[in-house]
Chains A and B, each alone.
Chain A
Amino acid sequence: MSEAIESIKSNVIRGKRKEALEQTQRALAAGVDPAAIMKDALIAAMSVVGQKYSSGEFFLPQMMIAARAMTEVLPLLKPHLVGAAAQKRGKAVIGTVAGDFHDIGKNIVKMMLEGAGYEVVDLGVDVPADKFVEAVRNESPNFVLMSSLITLTMQSMRKTVEALQAAGVRGAIRVGVGGAPLTAKFAQEIGADFYSPDAHECVEACNRLVH
């Protein structure tokens, strides 16, 4: 792997936005393959960040600044990505469920997924079940990802899964849920496909299921 790519990767991990941007611009000018920058710098960096978060070495600020550095570099690469490299790994519709305004966790999952090469449609917070259904119809995603931080709003997840079922679109998608009060058992009970304890695991789960 080229030194330039290695350096972009380490700057993204450390959340050095300016450096990561400059080096990406220079690398592109020098003819480094944009697809390689995407895969070996950005996607690889976010994977490292996710692991560091899961292991306790990184916390929210480190994760947030890294994800921000990544999202700033991304638009530089986009116009250069052609053919297979421009292909998204998959598409996800994401939102915090009805009755819940918490969005930090959801935003982190969104950035991590983008960093992993997914297209993400963010429905925001306090998203009612029919909004999820509508988004599935309009966007044809691979995944519907729901976040809830309050025990009481976990029931909104159940309602959303039911609404997806009733609308006849449940079969076309995989449903993932996350948030502090959740458990894998709850995910199973409401008929979701998977539960992720953190953003990193969510990306891993999507990677496993996307094919």
Chain B
Amino acid sequence: MPRVRFHPDSRSIEVPRGERLLPAAWKAGVGIKSVCGGRGKCGGCLVEVDAASTAPDALTPISDDERTLLPPEGEARGFRLACLCEVHGDVTLSVPAESQAVRSAPRKPYTVTRVALRPVVSRVCAQVEPAHAEPLRSLAERLRRAIAGAAGRKSVELPLAALADYSARPGFDSAREVTATLHQDRRVFELRPGRTQALYGLAIDIGTTSIVVFLCDLAHGEIVGVRTAGNPQAIYGEDVISRMTHIQKDPGALAEMRRLLVGELNRLIEEAADDAGVSPADIVDAVAVGNPTMQHIFAGVNPEPLGRAPYMPVLSEAVELEAAQLGLRMLPRARVFVFPSIAGYIGGDTLAALLTRGPEFYRGTHLLVDVGTNGEVVLAHHGELFATSCATGPVYEGAHIRCGVRATAGAIERVWVEDSGKVRWAAIRENGGKADPRPVGLCGSGVISSVAAFVGSGLVGEDGALAGPEKEIVLVRAPHSRTGRAIVLTQQDVRSVQLGKSALRAGIEILLAERGIADIDRIDFAGTFGNHLEPQDILKIGLVPPTPVERIRLIGNAAGDGARMALFNRNHRRRVAMLARRVQVLELSTRADFQDLFVTHTALAPSPQALEAV
């Protein structure tokens, strides 16, 4: 079998003849960017083949489709698209920085919201009467009485499973002191001899792109560890549709995606628990939020119907999964509470974000906007709640952009144009170590920032057309970039921004029109990407309706914050179910006015002239 060697990771793998490079890389554990999920559409999986150690016929020849996606001089330099070429002999290649699927870490992972402590799981220590105590009672009966007494209740449930587990422990029948772990103060789901007071829980935010795990001390209401990583399902494509497509083609892919996700979560849990000195057996509760597709996959439910009109979820109510069944590294009998969803594209993550908004959000007129590959907008207007979702596309994550990269070190995050016309930029800096000051590309906020700056300075018209004769604007010339190629913003990039921007804005306009609203008291931007935008840029390109800049607030990873709230206080789990019922969903794709609004708001201006008025 031919062998493929990957640099700079120095990994290699033997693959059957005819295997494509992209899956070969995944199998070797090499992360290669693939926005379109290996369908030969995005050009993201660019690799550089080492001609010196690779026979000319080791890979299938370049097709016309592939050629059009390669960068200029790409063919001569040995560039190929990993998803389009098959391996027929030994290959050595390197994965350039801009093609590496970066496991990105949100830079500001959380904000701390004060929550009254009332976790759903509690632990009590009880003194059990000896077997010979009069009147004679079974161990189960003695345990029940002791635990109920210690918990200050008339009775507790002791299900067979917990009793059976306990009876497998050495010395179970002679222990005088036991610790019971209770769900909602009344159902015992774990027993152990001795005294344990440690009580920990997990808040898990499953994003399409990245996952975050918060390890929390439920006895004291503190975060004791935060870990984040890229969602390993990215090898099946970077957006939810690509992942659904894989499941459509191969039903086994669902279990595999779930396995990958749980594996990565376990790695994060172990790291956080090790660092904090917490035993996994003391992690007794978990709350997970994500978009509907992520929640479906996590729950092991086929998400495919979400990908087709009318985009209905299979699962909309909250579910509880058993940790043992999931294989999650925590107390095996513990349960993982998965948030409910509102609609096909409005999931637990949106509800969690909504949960973090205080009572003032429900008074007056407020918008909650979460932008990622999909944009969700919730409008609160005098106590009523409306929501919609907009297909913004992956542009906000730096994808589908010629020089787009994830928001990691070396990514340009802010761009401005000096009065002299000189284009200036700032990149995300490396955390310690020897920093390479040269930039790699543009991350989502860098893309928005540059479009806003270029429109402001006239390099790009409000209609999105580049003013100059060139089809691209150079931000960094080739010698100064880490990739050795110029970092540019192309006409096509601006068009992608316009489409993504317009989808969100049209969604907002439809929500506002629903109640004839002209004035918004506040707009909260959630999501890791939302956190890195400049409110001025948001207004300049017309992502939201004209609003005084001080009314726009960036509220960070609100989904994670909401998940923690539901972990620390059980009342929030009830609240979220109520919220889910209160929200009225507007489906944009069936609205007659959507097309005109969408087309009108492709303009990069705060309030473009409506199409009808032209």
Q: A61-B611, A181-B41 are known contacts. Are A56 and B495 too (CB-CB below 8 A)?
A: yes
A59 touches B602 (CB 8 A): yes
A101 touches B590 (CB 8 A): yes
Q: Which of A56, A61, A102 contacts B491 (CB 8 A)?
A: A56
- A-binding segment of B167-175, B187-195, B238-246, B404-412: B238-246
Give the residues in chain A near B498, CB-CB below 8 Å: 59-60
B contact face: mostly helix, strand, loop, or mixed: helix
In A53-105, which residues have CB < 8 Å from any B CB?
56-62, 64-65, 99-104
Q: Which of A150, A155, A183 contacts B241 (CB 8 A)?
A: A150
Q: A126-B309, A184-B65 are known contacts. Are A152 and B41 too (CB-CB below 8 A)?
A: no
Q: Is A176 among interface residues, defined by CB-CB distance under 8 A?
A: no
CA distance A107 to B598 in the complex (A): 13
Give the residues in chain A near B608, CB-CB below 8 Å: 61
Count A-B pairs with CB separation below 8 Å.
Answer: 80
Q: In chain A, what residue has the closest Cβ to B246? A: A151
A183 touches B41 (CB 8 A): yes
Whole-angstrom distance between the Cβ of B311 and the nearest chain A Cβ: 9
Q: Is B248 among interface residues, defined by CB-CB distance under 8 A?
A: yes
Give the residues in chain B near A65, CB-CB below 8 Å: 611, 614
Total chain B interface residues with beta-carbon distance under 8 A: 35
Most central of A103, A152, A153 by chain B CB within 10 Å = A152
CA distance A107 to B608 in the complex (A): 22
B241 touches A104 (CB 8 A): no
CA distance A61 to B597 in the complex (A): 10
Q: A100-B308, A104-B598, A153-B308 are known contacts. Are A185 and B40 too (CB-CB below 8 A)?
A: yes
Whole-angstrom distance between the Cβ of B65 and the nearest chain A Cβ: 6
Q: Is B176 among interface residues, defined by CB-CB distance under 8 A?
A: no
A101 touches B309 (CB 8 A): yes
Give the residues in chain B near A125, CB-CB below 8 Å: 309, 589
Q: A59-B463, A183-B65 are known contacts. Are A104 and B39 too (CB-CB below 8 A)?
A: no
Q: Which of A57, A150, A155 contacts B465 (CB 8 A)?
A: A57
B241 touches A151 (CB 8 A): yes
In which size bucket is the chain A interface? Answer: 20 to 34
Q: A17-B614, A155-B248, A181-B39 are known contacts. Are A150 and B599 too (CB-CB below 8 A)?
A: no
Q: Which of A58, A103, A150 contacts B308 (CB 8 A)?
A: A150
B465 touches A56 (CB 8 A): yes
Q: In chain B, what residue has the closest Cβ to A107? A: B595
Give the residues in chain A near B603, CB-CB below 8 Å: 61
Q: Is B48 among interface residues, defined by CB-CB distance under 8 A?
A: no
CA distance A184 to B39 in the complex (A): 12
A152 touches B248 (CB 8 A): yes
Q: Is A15 among interface residues, defined by CB-CB distance under 8 A?
A: yes
Q: In chain B, what residue has the closest Cβ to A16? A: B614
Give the residues in chain B near A62, CB-CB below 8 Å: 463
CA distance A10 to B205 in the complex (A): 54
Give the residues in chain A near B241, CB-CB below 8 Å: 150-152, 181
Whole-angstrom distance between the Cβ of B531 and the nearest chain A Cβ: 28
Give the residues in chain A near B465, CB-CB below 8 Å: 56-59
**19 CB < 8 A contacts A-B:** A56-B471, A56-B492, A56-B495, A59-B465, A59-B602, A60-B602, A61-B600, A62-B463, A65-B611, A107-B595, A125-B309, A126-B309, A150-B241, A151-B244, A152-B244, A152-B248, A153-B309, A181-B36, A181-B41
Given A56-B495, A59-B498, A151-B37, 10 new contacts (CB under 8 A): A56-B471, A57-B465, A60-B599, A61-B463, A61-B602, A100-B308, A104-B595, A125-B589, A150-B307, A183-B65
